[in-house]
Each structure stands twice: as structure tokens, then as C-alpha cells.
Amino acid sequence: MILIMKEAFPLVMRIKKEPTGKFSKWEVGELVLARRDEEGGTYSIKKLKTDMLALTSCMAFVPRSYLEKVPCRNISFMLTQPQVKTKTKDVTRRDGWEHLKKGDILWGVEKGQGLKKGEKIQRMALIRVVDARREPLERMFNEFLYGLAECNREGFPNLHPEQFIEMFCSSHKGCKRETQITRIEFEYLT
């Protein structure tokens, strides 16, 4: 995968520094962040530990066709596809996902399970986790103003927190009001 944009700063590319100090050949498996220096001819290189961080630092400059090849975990938005497509949702609640952390990159997909034969995963948006924390689902009801704001951020501005809790529990087997869930706040990268 080559990620080079001619006029974009910063640039993301795979390169190798030669003993002469010039950058020429591809280096397999290392993604680096490069900026054209003031003179315009050489590059200063900062190696990054993960290719995901490198990609998100220049996401605005990378065409979607390249991003489709980014390997990362999928997160299904089967029940809230319209909200994700219109980017009116920036919080989601999940039963599980305890190990998710700030900065993780995920592909928001239409449906992740129960695909029929020949059906493929449909990606909607690349997202970055801004915050992930565990909290009881009933917090939305116990702290009413928080609950109203969260319904809006979940993409359901017309729902009362009690209605949201009922909807969530009915779509998650074994979930109750007091269940500890993972609240995920995210931002759109595409």
C-alpha cells in the first residue's frame, strides 16, 4: 500500500534511508511520517510505532480507496446506520468491548455478523475512539440531563432516557438497567 499525496503535508510513505542520507527504496513493514523541510528537497523522518497513528495524522489527505485497505477491527452499527452515515452519532454503548482505549481506530460497518452467503461487510466510516469507559446503563436515567444529552449523541434526539434503556436492553440479550456497559465516544476520520 502506497500512501503518498503530492501536495499534502504531512506525507505518509514507506521509504528507506540510504547510508548516503538520501531516501530511496521501500522498507517493508515500517510506516513513517515525513514532512518536506523548508528547503524542499530532503525529508525529516519520525518513525512511528503503529501504522494507525501515522494514518490518522494525515487522514484528510489520504483517498478513501487507500483507506479501504487499512486493517483494523470492525464495529457494527446495524441499528444506527442512518445516524452514522449522516454523522449525527458520536457516542455508542456496547455490552463488552472492555479493552477498547482512547486512540483505537475502528471501521464502522453496517453489519458485522449474520452475513448471508456472498454478502460482504459494508464499511461506512473510519472512526477513532476519543473516550471509552465502563458505566452502568441506568446512569442515563439516574442523571436525567446526562441521559438526555446522551440520547442525542447516540443519534436518538427524540427518545427519553428510559426509552433508550428499554431499546438497548431489548436488543442485547441478558442486559438489564444495572448492567455495566462500555460507553464509546468517537470522532469520524472519513
How far is 37 from 44, CA to CA, in rounded Å?
7
Comparison of pLDDT for 124 and 34, the residue scoring more = 124
Categorize the per-residue pLDDT at 65 as very low, low, confident or very high, splitting at 50, 70 and 90.
low
How far is 89 from 107, CA to CA, in rounded Å?
15
Comparison of pLDDT for 122 and 190, the residue scoring more = 122
> Which of these, 85, 108, 110, 91, lies nearest to 152 by C-alpha position?
91
In this structure, what DSSP letter does residue 17 have?
B
Query: Is-contact 123 107, C-beta < 8 A?
Result: yes
pLDDT for 39 equals: 42
What average pLDDT score do residues 125-131 get? Answer: 93
Whether the full predicted model's pTM is greater than 0.85, yes or no, is no
Domains belonging to the chain, first-starting first, are 11-67 (no CATH), 74-188 (2.30.130.30)
